[in-house]
């Protein structure tokens, strides 16, 4: 997830959300490997948080008159621990 345009970030979010919905539906139906599904759901949530963070950075830079291309993808640990 490096050097992404706004369109590519939106596409990544769309794909991740689609996979998340599929996993949640299969979890509700209790089919397949539930531990593997739970792990993948957690991974998807982190990746989605990183994508949304990148979009917020880009929008803030643009609003401030700066180059949105200078936004950087932050590490999962950094994005996941904002409130701590």
Distance CA 1, CA 8 (A): 9
Q: pLDDT band for position 34 (50/70/90)?
A: confident
What are 48-75's pLDDT values in tens digits? 999 999 999 999 999 999 999 999 999 9
Average pLDDT, the chain: 86
Is the whole model's pTM more than 0.85, yes or no?
A: no
């Amino acid at each position: 997830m490096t050097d992404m345009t706004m369109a590519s970030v939106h596409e990544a979010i769309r794909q991740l959300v689609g996979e998340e919905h599929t996993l949640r539906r299969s979890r509700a139906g209790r089919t397949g490997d539930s531990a593997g599904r739970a792990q993948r759901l957690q991974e998807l949530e982190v990746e989605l948080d990183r994508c949304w963070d990148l979009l917020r950075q880009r929008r803030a830079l643009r609003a401030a008159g700066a180059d949105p291309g200078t936004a950087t993808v932050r590490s999962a640990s950094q994005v996941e621990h904002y409130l701590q």
